[in-house]
């Protein structure tokens, strides 16, 4: 692993798979846990956690499943992969490791109900955690209602936690057949993105879990701009952070700065965007509004280029003026890397400036050509 070789990391700190070992207790996740704990205290019904894709629902579910006391609570966790008439009882029975005579709903209920009875008699409650619940069909959700009705005397035998993307709320609220399920929701919460102040502790927490010992260091601007680029959504932060560390390892950087982050974000945007073709000639058609060309756009790009170049040049000066010759030899690769990056940045922005000026010239010529018949008349 390149990150392990250069930065001494023992694991991938920003892997996409939900790993409860990397769980970070952000404000919204702490609130969600409080709601879940309240729901569990009720001993029955449904608790529902929804949120935008990438807000950490799966890692929260995994964290919760790993922290319950197995002497008090038996947990079955399922992740339905697609929207279908899924047999929830069948999935739950498999998750619990129960042997079934058949492979259908009747066989699943035939082993689940006596198992739940036995657990209740042993003093244990049973909890079903359903991740990606937005994939469940209406038939599957109705089946959950049937499971939740199983009782031993007056005591419910099963409690259910549903983790789903935001549209699941609309499903619950918009289907009349789910009214019995809605009435049994004892706690519900929507996960929100992290606050800007949580970005730095989030990154350092996950790095620390992966064996980070302070290398690389991060400029403060990195955290601010990472929040702007990701909106505070962990599922967006993680791939950016992974690419940022990879760039640092490739360039052998011990300090991660905002220019590196900007380069990563731009590269990732280029990978997912298709360039819009500029027509070779603009048609002469019925009159339509003249395009508005804002010269401030070009000035802004030029100012941005100059600021980046100045920042890189300042870094070169600071490194080059080190008095200790031995330190200078050590830092020489960093100086060369910064010089090369400066040249690439300047070339890239120069090309952007040239393209914008060409586009501006083309549009001006078109506008003049459109106005020429009117002046001739």
pLDDT, position 283: 41
Q: In sequence order, which residues have a C-beta less than 8 Å from that of residue 217 and are 6 or more positions away? A: 254, 255, 256
pLDDT, position 213: 93
Among residues 150, 163, 147, 133, which one has the least CA distance to residue 63? 163
Q: Cα–Cα distance between 310 and 316 in angstroms, integer?
A: 10
Give the pairing of strands 185-191 and 46-51.
parallel
pLDDT, position 366: 58
Beta carbons within 10 angstroms of residue 372's beta carbon: 10
Handedness of CA 348, 354, 360, 362 (dihedral sign): negative
Q: Cα–Cα distance between 212 and 78 in angstroms, integer?
A: 33
Q: In sequence order, which residues have a C-beta less than 8 Å from that of residue 250 and are 6 or more positions away? A: 2
Q: Cα–Cα distance between 49 and 165 in angstroms, integer?
A: 8
**Contact criterion met (CB below 8 Å) for 240 and 229:** yes
Provide the β-strand partners of residue 165. 51
**Contact criterion met (CB below 8 Å) for 47 and 36:** yes
pLDDT, position 44: 87
Classify residue 242 by burial, with Cβ atoms within 10 Å: 0-12, 13-18, 19+.
middle
pLDDT, position 312: 61
Classify residue 16 by burial, with Cβ atoms within 10 Å: 0-12, 13-18, 19+.
exposed
Phi-psi region of 282 (alpha: psi -120 to 50; beta: other; left: phi over 0): beta
Give pLDDT tens digits along the chain (377 positions). 566 778 999 999 999 888 999 999 999 999 999 999 898 888 889 999 999 999 999 999 999 998 888 888 999 999 887 654 567 888 899 899 898 887 778 888 899 999 999 999 999 999 999 999 999 988 889 989 999 999 988 889 999 999 999 999 999 998 999 999 999 999 999 999 999 999 999 999 999 999 999 999 999 999 999 999 999 999 999 999 999 999 999 999 999 999 999 999 999 988 765 444 334 333 433 433 433 444 444 555 555 555 565 566 555 555 555 554 555 555 566 666 666 776 676 666 666 666 666 666 665 665 555 555 544 44
pLDDT, position 280: 39
pLDDT, position 277: 38
Q: Cα–Cα distance between 127 and 339 in angstroms, integer?
A: 58
Q: Cα–Cα distance between 229 and 266 in angstroms, integer?
A: 10
Structure pTM?
A: 0.69
């Amino acid at each position: 692993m390149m990150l392990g070789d250069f930065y001494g990391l023992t694991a991938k700190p920003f892997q996409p798979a939900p790993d409860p070992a990397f769980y970070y207790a952000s404000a919204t996740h702490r609130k969600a846990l409080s709601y879940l704990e309240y729901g569990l205290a009720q001993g029955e019904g449904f608790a529902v956690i929804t949120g935008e894709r990438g807000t950490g629902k799966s890692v929260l579910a995994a964290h919760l499943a790993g922290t319950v006391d197995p002497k008090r609570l038996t947990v079955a966790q399922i992740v339905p992969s697609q929207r279908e008439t899924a047999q929830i009882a069948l999935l739950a029975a498999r998750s619990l490791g129960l042997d079934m005579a058949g492979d259908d709903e009747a066989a699943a209920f035939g082993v689940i109900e006596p198992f739940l009875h036995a657990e209740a008699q042993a003093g244990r409650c049973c909890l079903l955690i359903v991740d990606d619940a937005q994939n469940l069909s209406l038939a599957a959700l109705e089946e959950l209602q049937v499971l939740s009705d199983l009782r031993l005397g007056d005591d419910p035998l099963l409690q259910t936690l549903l983790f789903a993307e935001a549209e699941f709320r609309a499903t619950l609220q918009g289907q009349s057949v789910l009214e019995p399920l809605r009435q049994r929701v004892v706690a519900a919460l929507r996960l929100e993105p992290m606050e800007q102040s949580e970005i730095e502790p989030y990154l350092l927490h996950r790095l620390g879990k992966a064996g980070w010992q302070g290398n690389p260091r991060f400029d403060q601007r990195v955290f601010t701009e990472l929040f702007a680029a990701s909106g505070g959504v962990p599922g967006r932060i993680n791939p950016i952070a992974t690419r940022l560390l990879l760039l640092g390892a490739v360039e052998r950087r011990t300090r991660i700065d905002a220019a590196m982050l900007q380069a990563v974000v731009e590269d990732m945007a280029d990978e997912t965007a298709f360039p819009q073709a500029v027509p070779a000639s603009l048609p002469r058609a019925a009159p339509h509004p003249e395009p508005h060309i804002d010269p401030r756009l070009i000035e802004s790009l030029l100012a941005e280029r100059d600021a980046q170049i100045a920042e890189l040049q300042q870094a070169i000066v600071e490194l080059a003026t080190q008095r200790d010759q031995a330190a200078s030899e050590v830092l020489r690769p960093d100086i060369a890397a910064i010089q090369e990056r400066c040249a690439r940045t300047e070339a890239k922005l120069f090309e952007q400036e040239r393209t914008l000026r060409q586009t501006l010239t083309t549009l001006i010529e078109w506008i003049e050509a459109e106005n020429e018949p009117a002046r001739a008349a």
